[in-house]
């Protein structure tokens, strides 16, 4: 029987050197460094990943991002990983995170290739641009801006979002697992839409090219088509 013996002395000898190197490389205490935890899901610089269910957070209005962080912390939105991340963070810290990601403007990737019937795409376009007054469904553009890049201070962009994410959010509003401050305008709208409406809207939105300038539109003088608690007027 053979016995193999491996000396651990070289390994032990390296440990003090590695510890010293670690001590000589301080980690900067910056919001960019602390926000790295967010990039595992939302991608580098908050530009989103290819997973499909995680939204881009870079460049969104700071007030919108702050509202969503508070909604996760306070139970109005449900996603265990997000709740765990923000459960014990203060309002001031959430504002700092929101401001950091809002200030980032990396380029967007090309839109998704979405294969649907031309009639479905046209139905989506009409709902986004014109709504359906007979069923009390306002146009998406009437709140999210003519270019669908959002509206200050707290309405997000719609272009550049994955279709899977958009579908999931409509479902969450319809079943009440996503909520906002009352009156919850998106929950009201989602409940007026049937599955065919939602499929058409998300297909059309996710396939649209992203404008070079994705800044949210000014919203001070813009009156929304219905009362919205997260965007008081």
Q: Which residue positions form the known binding site for heme c?
A: 38, 41-42, 82, 140, 143-144, 186
State the Cα torsion 109-113-116-121 to the nearest 10°.
30
Yes or no: say if 59 and 104 are a contact pair by the CB < 8 Å rule.
yes
Binding residues: 38, 41-42, 82, 140, 143-144, 186
Cβ neighbours of 84 (radius 10 Å): 10
Nearest-angstrom CA–CA distance, 39 and 33: 11
Phi, psi of 113 (to 5 degrees): -90, 110
Nearest CA among 210, 117, 121, 215 for reference residue 161: 210
Nearest-angstrom CA–CA distance, 65 and 157: 12
Nearest-angstrom CA–CA distance, 97 and 101: 6
* Alpha carbon distance, N-terminus to C-terminus of the chain: 84
Nearest-angstrom CA–CA distance, 189 and 23: 55
């Amino acid at each position: 029987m053979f016995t193999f013996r491996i000396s651990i002395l070289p390994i032990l000898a390296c440990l003090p050197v590695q510890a010293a190197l670690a001590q000589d490389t301080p980690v900067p205490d910056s919001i960019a460094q602390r926000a790295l935890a967010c990039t595992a899901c939302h991608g580098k610089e908050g530009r989103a990943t290819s997973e499909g269910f995680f939204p881009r957070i870079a460049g969104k209005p700071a007030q919108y991002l702050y509202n969503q962080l508070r909604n996760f912390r306070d139970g109005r939105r449900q996603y265990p990983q997000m709740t765990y991340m923000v459960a014990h963070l203060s309002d001031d810290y959430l504002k700092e995170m929101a401001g950091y990601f809002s200030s980032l403007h990396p380029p967007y990737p090309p839109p998704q290739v979405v294969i649907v019937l031309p009639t479905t795409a046209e139905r989506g376009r009409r709902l986004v641009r014109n709504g359906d007054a007979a069923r009390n469904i306002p146009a998406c553009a009437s709140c999210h801006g003519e270019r669908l890049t959002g509206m200050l201070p707290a309405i997000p962009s719609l272009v550049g979002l994955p279709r899977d994410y958009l579908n999931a959010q409509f479902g969450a509003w319809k079943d009440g697992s996503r909520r906002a401050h009352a009156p919850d305008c998106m929950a009201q709208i989602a409940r007026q839409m049937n599955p065919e409406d939602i499929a058409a809207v998300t297909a059309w939105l996710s396939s649209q090219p992203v404008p070079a300038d994705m800044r949210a539109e000014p919203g001070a003088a813009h009156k929304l088509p219905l009362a919205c608690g997260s965007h008081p007027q």
